[in-house]
Structures are given as structure tokens and as C-alpha cells.
Structure 1
Amino acid sequence: MIRLTWVQPEDLVGHELRQAAEDGREVTEIAARWHAAGGHDAPPRAGASPEAPPVRLRRLAEDLLDELAAVPSPLPEPSALAEIIAACPQWPSQRGTAVSGTQAMDRMLGAWLGRAAGCVLGKPVEKIPREGIRAIAEATGNWPIRGWFTAEGLPAEIGRSWPWNRRSAVNSLAENIDGVPEDDDLNFALLALALLERRGREFTTDDVAQLWLDELPGGRVFTAERATYRNLLAGLEPPGSHDPPALTTATFRNPFREWIGALIRADVYGWANPGDPATAAEFAWRDARLSHTANGIYGSMSVAAMCATALVASSAEEVVAAGLAVIPPDSRLAAAMRQAAEDARREPDFERVVDRLHARHGDLHWVHTINNAALITAALVHGRGDFTASIAGAVAGGWDTDSAGATVGSIVGALRGASGIPQEWSLKNRLSSSITGFDGIGLDELARRTLALATEES
């Protein structure tokens, strides 16, 4: 029997209970009923329990998910764009920066190459916890991390304890890298590029949904994106002013709505708006609201603003400030990013910075937005524009390694330009993808097409 992950009602209740604890909802009585009936807590790393439950438990799960959706959060974390802007006293003015020429191309190519390199670095150790990443790196003479992961010279007992987890991970090992292997962290960037090329700057959330249905098989998206896909096929509408909050693609039985999925989709919205973090954040909001709410949306907006700023800025601190300016300062995400930045400024040993991040956010799922955004912030501030130190820090942190590595890589790559990325992180100019029209495309062609979008606006 197929146990499809991330959509079974009985597997969602535990995740929704954990989400309720995070956003301040009182659901003790609902949790007690669930546990008394034999329901389980959220799996710490997986998406589904191994066996199908009794029919009665599935029916109870459906009822409890609806009850949980009706319990409001007391936190001041809006999802509507006008309310988000109103909550941001430092919301930036809309002002693009004219970009063209060799330097602009170098920085855009640096952004694409940086995203690819950070993703490839983090892919082999995705789902491996922090202690396993260090054990692998130390055993192969790569600690502190300064190059691609490798299986060559890895003791058998270490490999058994912390196995690479899928074929694409093996394709990201130093001895096997042959171009950029396919990954969802890169496919979503390609989708955003296709969206802007096909629909233009006035694209809507409905356009994002249609592109997903056209280009993304449901089995190749996960967590919030898979729940959203299910909701689209069930006939639910993307969020809009006419929709009750519990009946949108983002909120209906989607306990992953504050996880990292929207954040990894944001970079191109920033690259298309160099020097204009406000517009970049708005573009990201239109995309993110399809599948996410509150901090899930803020993560996407923040990264888009940082990517827009990185193309014209001179420091990682300037970039982080831009990311914080477009999210509500009283939100959990803003607090986590501010504290991460402060730790990174004060503590010279990045491992101690990560110790503090895990102490504060270790109870969150490894693909949640808040912990990963805090790690991204810390890696940027501590790395101070050093490409290797920045992506290595993001990956060594041990949460969503390929996603955090990709985002940090794209930002520092844009700051430094492709010419400023050390040669050891070079990749063959070929990217694999199942997105129509992109398989085998060169990073230079992606940079050229993205720069064309940015140049059109400026």
C-alpha cells in the first residue's frame, strides 16, 4: 500500500499541533483527544507513518484538523501584503538601480553560480544532522569545510552511520560532479524565471498555481507545496479577498505553511529587481501566498529583498538589513534573524554561533523557515563576503543543508560576482532539470535571461 507523505490526515495532526505550539494557539484539549485515540506526534524527520491507521483514526484526524484550523493565533503576524507593509516601519521606497554591462553580468552570473554551488555542496548531507556532517567532513580531511564532499577515503563505519540518501546526492560528490544535477532548489528558480518571462511583472498568484500544474509533477514537491498541490486538484482557490482563511490552498490542512518551501522560490524575484527590495518582496509575496502564511511568507520576502540588494550592495550587513526591512519586526522570524546576526557579529567561532542557533531553534523541524533563515543570516554576517566560509557555514549548520547553502551562495555570489568566486567552486556550465526548456541550459544563459528582465525594468 502506498503511504504518500505529507498529505495523509493522520500524519498532519501531529505537525499541526506542533505548529499551534509555535504560533501561540491553545489546543491542549484537542491534543489530548488525539493522543487518547492512539494518534501519534509529528515524525521528527519523515513525512508519513509507515502503516495505514484504522479508518476511525483517519476520520478523527480530518475532524481535528478542521477544529485546529478554527483556533486563531494571537500573534501579530499578518499574511496580507498591506498589513505586512503597515507593520514594517522601515519598508523601503521603490527605487531600482540601472544595471548593465560586464559588471552587472558578472554579478548576475555570480548569483546563479553561487546558488548552484551552495546547493551542490549541501546536497550530499541533506537530512544528515549536524554531528554527522562534521564526522563525514573530518573523516575525509574536509573540516572546516573547504571543498565538495567526497566518499573517497571515507571509513566504512562512518558511511554506514551517515549514508548519502539518494542518487542526486551521490551526483553531488566531488568524484561524480558533472555539471549541476537537478534539484528542487534550482527548479523553483527556473520556474520563477519562466513565470516572469511568460507572464511579465504583473503575474498573479493564480499564474504561479497554473505554472505548477503545468510543470511540476505532484510527486516531486514536498511539505507545503504537496499540500497545496493536493488542494489545487481538489478545487480550492489560491488566497484572495473572497476566500475564508481556512479554505485556501495555503491554509487548508497544510501544517507546513511556515516551512522553508516559499523561501527557496524567491531568489529570481530579487534578481529581477536589482536595488529594489520592496518590489522584490512584493513579487515573492505573490508567489509565497499560494502555499504559505505568516513567517513562511516573510522568509520568501526577506530572501527576495536580500537578493535584490546583493546585486548592488558592497557588504553582507547591507544585504541582511534589507531582508529585515521587509518583514514585521515583531514577528518570530525577524527576532530570530536579529539575534542570529548579533551572535555572528560577536562570536568569532562560527561553531559556537550554530550552538546558540540550535539551542534556540532546535525544536523546529529541520525544514522550517525560522531556524533556516536564522542560519542563513548568521552565515552571511559571519562570512563577511567570503564565499567559501559563507556557504560552508550554512551547510555545516545541519538543517536544510542544500537550501540554506543555495540561498547563501546566491547572495554572496551576487556580492562578489562570478569572477570573485574561488575556482574550487566552479561547475561545468550545464544544469539538469525536468522543467520544460531548461534541461542542459548553461548558467551563463540563465544569467543573461535574468539580466534581461532586470534591464527591462531599470
Structure 2
Amino acid sequence: REGKKEILDLSFYRPVPGQPVANEDLDLQLVALHGLRQHGPGISSLEIAELWAKYVRYTFDEFGYATRNLRRGLRPPVSGWHDNWFRHGSGAMGRCQLWAMVAPAAPHVAAEYAYHDATLDHAEEGVWAAMFWAAVQSAAFASSDRRALVGVGLGMIPSTSRVARAVQVACEAHQLGRTWVEARSRILTAVGAELYADAPQNTGFAMLGWLYGNGDFGSSLCHAANCGYDCDGTAGAVGATLGILLGRSGLPTEWMAPLGDAVVLGWGVVDLDVERTVAELTEHTIEAAEQVVAARCPEVQFVDALESAEVPLSLAADLPEQEPRLSALPEGAQAAGAAPATAENVGEGLEQPASALPVTENSRSEMEGVHEAGTAQATEEGVGEGPDQTASTLPVTEEATPEREGVDSPAGSPEGAAHSDTSTEDVHTPPLAAPSDAPALRRFEHVRPLWTISPRTAVYRQGPYEVEVDYGENGPAIVPNAAASLMFTVRNLGEEDFVGNIRISTPAGWDVRVPGAQGQRQMLARGGMARYGFVIRCPETASLSAVNPVGLVLAPEHGSPTLLPVPLLGGHCWHYVGPLANSHMEGFERSFEPEEKPGLSERYLGRAGAMVSWQRIGFRETVMDVEPLFDRGPGVLYLRTALRMERPVDARIVVHCNDGVRAWLNGRLLLQRHSHEEFHPIMGSGNAMAETTLGQGANLLVLKVVRCKDPVRLAVIITD
């Protein structure tokens, strides 16, 4: 089951479905496909964002944080980076298959599409994972060489990323003949993270499934899913890859038959007429692919049939310069049954590039394969850790895989089903990347610049000006009495030179400082570019809203000024007092003085025996970093804030905490919970939440946060 962190014991669907299970990964691809058909190959991340606002209602994990950012006016990539605890999640990795299918045999184009899609609700590692798998799956239309495909994927992402490290660790473990359980452990040691849906560790698990499945579809899915964590995403990634490699005719009947031909839409997409069958979805995907190929992939051709089964293309020989290959094996070590990897044989058997990459009409079968295989995800949780297994065996129960005619049923084959011999590669092929001195991937320049785009910047177009806004390290949020720096890069795309004043507008009472070198009169030639910096501060006495009217003003000496609105969000303003003593871990049950005398002028006896008083603190993000206030020890902390409403509003207050928490609203106990559960601050719901009405004017919200032995995590979310 998704989210379980122990080893599972799946060998087939559990239970066997009668149709595909609805899944947000497919849902968002259906929305994106609708956008492609509407806007064409030039679809932008902003146009995808508009589709989300119109059709998507999911609020969990990264979707919730990103859609709130988008509603408040933030643009990608800032929308995926700012105040998003799930920014490194695997959501975009789970929906990148569409970009591979509409840009077949053009991994650089698929990776670029995946980037613009992923940055809506992810940043950095969450984006790199989507680019990696989109490139691998696109390249799979032109080559079945796993080593080459992995090399292409690694060439599309920074070599220093955790995603790249996860792929390397999985490949190295397989080369060294480690069991899949040992490989899983190595991946967690190298890149493991608190979030179960963390993209790097789940990319490693998907690679593990592909490697240790030895080309068998069911075994590959089960190896990936049995690693646990985001098991539907990992099985989906390897299933989609094999779906492209094998085509529909190559997929095992026993895995495809339970799914049928239906496309099942989840609850989170509304008012959108989507494809109802795999055949219809395939038809529309091919139509979009033909448009993308015609517009963006001149090296790709659609042909009726290939003269040979293998496309004459060496993708591994097209890796970007200076990209490191996977780490070499220790001296004397080699993959089980394989020749040692050397400079002489690492590229052995790879054919030379062709001038054009042919994609046959059989691509319809391949796309049907990936649509079906991507939903062939084993479900339900296993029974926990088992003994170490060999590299070719899954930890399955005797009931799940009975012996038939003296031969063990292969992992991934249901009881009574014949083993499908669909392997496209030699079991012992070492999954190496190409040598680092290989020539650059064709048109690779379209991908590398994406690595350097800061997720704290956004680009706007207003009148004759293109403006890049850099929000700085603190992001697009401001808290009282703390300075915020904004840097604007302005390009004059108009027909005339600009001569005048460039300034920033802020709410009344805010302080603005301008570096002296900028002066009061600016000149910007047509076609020219210049940078302008400002430092702003909101005093405690000034107004601070959820979204504050800040703008860049370009006022020429002759003519009307141009105003570019720049979203600047208000942070969360609180007072806190503590820590108070949590003696014998009884702090949650015990009442303390701030509950009876909550006035800001009050003083209380603190944990160390000294008197403590209320202090003001601001948080720029939803997850509030209160752990430093406990000074690394058990204690009790009280926080209070005023929620000001212009009119009565029905609201839901959710408090996420991995320890003890109580909340009072206007003196009435609102919620309480004491549980050392995993911290997972999803938007709009949780184990500690309450429906209430916020009255007109100020509403006093008081929190009691208890820390026992472990560091405490806290998030407060208020929604309508």
C-alpha cells in the first residue's frame, strides 16, 4: 500500500481489479493532454496552470500547496518551490509519461516538457526525477538497450542531484550482484528521506524494479512495489517504461486482462470530458505526438514499418560532454555473470547514430502498452520484512507462488498463469551509462539551461517589457520588521529607448530602500537589459495581508507609466512563550499558567527556572520551525495569533504535529491530539482538525505544543 515503509510481499494484484484504479497521476496527464490538443506543441506552464485552476480539485501534498500559490498569483517555478513541504516529491515523476509519448525518440524535448510541467508543484529533486523518466521513456521508442536509456536519462539532469545518485546506487548494487533487498537498503542509506514520496529514493526503487526484474514485466513491477514507500509511482514508472519497450502485444495477458479498456477518472478532476477508453486515449495521444514531432522534433520520422527490429541508433553515444558515467566497480569485482566493465567494452554492441529516428506506426501498440502498463500497479501492503533474497527472487509466500511442474512460479506471475517470456535484454547486461567523453546529445542545449533557472525567480511580460523577478533566499513572503530583497531584471523589448524612473510601489507605511548607485533617473536602450534592486520592510504598525499589493513601476519621462504587479505574500505572525517544563513527560495533560493568564504582558516560570515572557516571531512558510525554540530538549511552548476577518467566515483549522498539541479559539478548546506519528502536513485535512466559524474582527487562536524526546514539527493550516 502506498506510504508503507516496510518491505512488501506482492506477486500480483491484490485484490485482482475489474478495471483500472483511478489515480491522480493519470488524471493530470489527461488534463495536460487536453491542454496539448487545445494549445498545441507550444503549451506553456502557465497554460497548464490555468487548466489546473479550471479542472483540478486535488488538495493533498504538493498539489495543495502549489494550487494555493498559483491562486495567490505566484508563477512557476516559484509556485512549486515556495512554502511547499512536498517540493521534492514524486508527483511529477508519476505523470511524466505523457511527455515521452508525445515526443518519442526525442528525450531532450520530453525532458523539457516534463520540466515545465513539474515546476508547477515541485522544485529541484522533484523536477529532476520527472525529467529523468521522461527522457528514458522517450528514448525507449528508439532503443531497447537499458544501459543506453539510463545514460540518456542521467544526461538530462545534474550529476550532483540526489536523483542521479539514487540511479547510480541502484545500478552499482545490481552490478555487484547484491540482492534486491540489499540494493533497497543501499538506496535508503544514500538518499533516504523523511517523506515517503521523496522523488530520489523512489526513483532508486523504480530503477531497482527495472534492473532486478530481468526484463520480466510482472517481476519488474513487483520488485519496485515491494520496496514500499510510493509504490504506485515506482511500479507505474517501470511499468510505463516496459510498456513502451514491449508494446501492447508484448505485455503479459495475465497482467492486462484484469484492467480492460476503460479509462477511469478520479474525483479530483471536474467538468472535463476525458477519453473513456485506452483506444481513444491512444488515438488522441498519437494525434498530439504528430503535432509535437512536426513542430519540435525534426530528427524524428513516423514510418509505416522498420526494416529491422532494432533502430540503428546509439543513444548512449549521444550523452552530453563532461557528464560522469556511473561509478566504476571496485577492482576485481564484476556483475554476476557479466564481463568486467572496461573502457574497451562499455560501449560494445551499440550501433551508430542515424540521421533521423524512425518511429513506426506500431507506436500505437507501444502507446497502448504504456497506457495500460502504467496502471498495472500491484496494490495492498505486504507482511513486513523478510529474509534477504537472491537478485532474481522476490519475498513471496508459498500460497502466492506455488510450484508448477517442479518449477517455481516466477515473481510477478499469478497462480496458474504461464510465464510470459517478454524480456528485451540479456539478464546480465550491466546497466552502465556511456563513457564520459561521448559527444553531446543532439540539441542538448535545450535542456542544460533549465538546470540553472532558480526556483525563486519568475518571468513576467508587461507592455514592452519582460521582467524577471528574483525573490531572494527568503522567497515571496514577508514578515513584520524583517527586510526582504527583490531584484528585477528588466528587458526593453519595445521600439523606443526608456528614459525615466523605475521604482517599486508598496502598501502605505512600508519602508523602501534603493541602492544609491541606481539613482533617480534610469536609461534602458531598446533591446537592452538592466537590473534594479530594492529592499523593503513592513513595520509592525503597518498592514500586512495574505497577498500584498506590490508592483514595479516603469515611468518614462514622456508617456504613461507601466505597472507590473508582483505578488508578495504575508507571512504568519505569532507570539510565543516558553519553553516551560515538561517534567516526566506530563506536559500534555498538565495545565500551565498561559492557559489561565494569556495576556501578552504576563510572565511565567520557564523550564530553566528563569521567568519567560511573550516574544514576537514570524514564519514565512506553513511549516513553522519551532524546534529551535525548545533548545533541543523536552518542553512546552505556547503560541498565539489573531485571525482578523472582515466578515464571519466558516473555516477549517488543521494542525499537524508529530507530538502533542492543543488549540483554543477565542477561549474555547478547539482540538487536541498527542501522537508521535509521522509528520505529513497535507493541505485541508489531518488527524487534528476542526470546523468552526471565524467571527468578524479579531479571533484569538492559542496553541499549546508539547515536545517529548524527539524534535517537534508543526504546521497550522486555515482554509475555507
Deviations 1:69-107 (A, max 9, x none): xxxxxxxxxxxxxxxxxxxxxxxxxxxxxxxxxxxxxxx
Quick one: distance in 2 between partners of 1:341 and 1:374? 9
**Residue 284 of structure 2 corresponds to which residue in structure 1?**
449
- State how 1:254-265 maps to structure 2 within 5 Å: 254-265=84-95
User: Which amino acid in the other structure matches residue 338 of structure 1?
Assistant: Q
1:127 aligned to 2:3? yes
TM-score between the two structures when normalised by the length of structure 2:
0.39
Tell me which of 196, 219, 223 is aligned to 2:61.
223
Contact 2:165 2:190 in 1 (8 A): no
Look at both structures and tell me which one has the larger radius of gyration over its CA atoms: 2
Question: What residue in structure 1 maps to residue 200 of structure 2?
Answer: 370
Give deviations 1:425-450, integer Å, cap 9, x for gaps: 11111021154555671112212221
Q: 1:209 to 1:439 in 2, by over 3 A?
A: closer
Structure 1 residues 213 and 366, CA gap change in structure 2 (3 angstroms): same
| Equivalent residue, structure 2, for 1:396 | 226
For 1:182 and 1:413, how far apart are their aligned partners in 2? 19
The corresponding residue for 2:20 is 180
Residues 162-198 of structure 1 deviation map (CA, whole Å, 9 limit, x = unaligned)? xxxxxxxxxxx21xx2221211121122122222111
Q: Does 1:204 align with 2:44?
A: yes
Alpha carbons 2:135, 2:152 under 8 Å: kept: yes
CA contact (8 A) 2:55 2:272 kept: no
- Which deviations, in whole Å up to 9, do the C-alpha atoms of 1:97-139 show, x marking residues without a partner? xxxxxxxxxxxxxxxxxxxxxxxxxxxx1123324x23xx4xx
Contact 2:62 2:87 survives alignment (8 Å): yes
Q: How does 1:354-369 map to 2 (within 5 A)?
A: 354-369=184-199
The amino acid across from 1:204 in the alignment is S
**For residues 29-40 of structure 1, what are the structure 2 equivalents within 5 Å?**
none
**Larger relative contact order (CA 8 Å, sep ≥ 6):** 1
What SS does structure 1 have at the residue aligned with 2:75?
coil
Question: Is the CA contact (8 Å cut-off) linking 2:79 and 2:121 kept in structure 1?
Answer: yes
> In structure 2, the residue corresponding to 1:249 is in which secondary structure?
helix
Alignment-derived partner of residue 77 in structure 1: none
- Residues 339, 310 of structure 1: alpha-carbon distance in 2 compared, 3 angstrom cutoff: same
Does residue 406 of the first structure (1) align with residue 236 of the second (2)?
A: yes
**Corresponding residue for 1:141?**
none
Instruction: Give the conservation status (yes or no) of the 8 Å contact 1:129–1:398.
Output: yes
**1:430: which partner in 2?**
262
What does the per-residue CA deviation read over 1:236-269, in whole Å, with 9 as the maximum and x for residues that have no partner? 2333xxxxxxxx3122211221111221221101
| Pair 284,363 (structure 1): closer, same or farther in 2 beyond 3 Å | closer
Change (3 A) 1:210 1:302: same
The CA distance in 1 between the partners of 2:289 and 2:88, in whole Å, is 29
Question: RMSD in angstroms over aligned alpha carbons?
Answer: 1.9
Retained in 2: the 8 A contact 1:192–1:269? no
Distance 1:225 1:409 in 2: 24
Which residue identity lines up with residue 149 of structure 2 in the other structure? V
Match of 2:120 among 286, 290, 293: 290
Report deviation, 1:308.
Answer: 0.5
Say which of 214, 219, 224 aligns to 2:54.
214
Give the deviation of 1:368 after TM superposition.
0.5
- Structure 1 unaligned blocks of 5 or more: 1-124, 138-144, 150-172, 240-247
User: Are 1:382 and 1:390, in contact at CA under 8 Å, matched by a contact in 2?
Assistant: yes
* Structure 1 pair 445–346 and aligned structure 2 pair: CA distance change class (3 A): farther
Q: Give the alignment partner of residue 334 of structure 1, picking from 143, 152, 164.
A: 164
Structure 1 CA distance, aligned partners of 2:277 and 2:59? 24
Q: How many residues of Structure 1 are paired with residues of Structure 2 in the alignment?
A: 288
- Secondary structure of the structure 1 residue equivalent to 2:80: coil
Instruction: Tell me the distance in 2 between the aligned counterparts of 1:353 and 1:250.
Output: 31
Distance 2:55 2:199 in 1: 25
2:13 paired with 1:148: yes
Give the Å deviation of 1:422.
Answer: 0.8
The alpha-carbon distance between structure 1 residues 330 and 359, as it changes in their structure 2 partners (threshold 3 A), is closer
The 2-side partners of 1:331 and 1:303 are apart by 14
For residue 262 of structure 2, what is the amino acid of its counterpart?
A: R
Q: In structure 2, what is the equivalent of residue 268 of structure 1?
A: 98
| 8 Å contact from structure 2 (residues 169, 190) kept in 1 | no
Q: Which residue of 2 aligns with 1:380?
A: 210
CA distance 1:339–1:304, change in 2 (3 Å): same
The alpha carbon displacement at 1:379 in A equals 1.7
- Distance, in Å, in 1 between the alignment partners of 2:104 and 2:276 is 23
What percentage of residue pairs aligned between the two structures are identical? Answer: 27
The corresponding residue for 1:235 is: 73
User: Using the alignment, how far apart are the partners of 1:363 and 1:250 within structure 2?
Assistant: 19
CA distance in 2 between counterparts of 1:365 and 1:213 reads 26
CA distance, structure 2, for counterparts of residue 200 and residue 235 of structure 1:
24
Preserved CA contact (<8 Å) 2:3 2:197? no
**CA deviation vs aligned residue, 1:273-326 (integer Å, no higher than 9, x gap):** 111000111111111122222111111111110111122221333322221110
1:299 corresponds to which residue? 129
DSSP-derived class of the 2:87 partner? coil
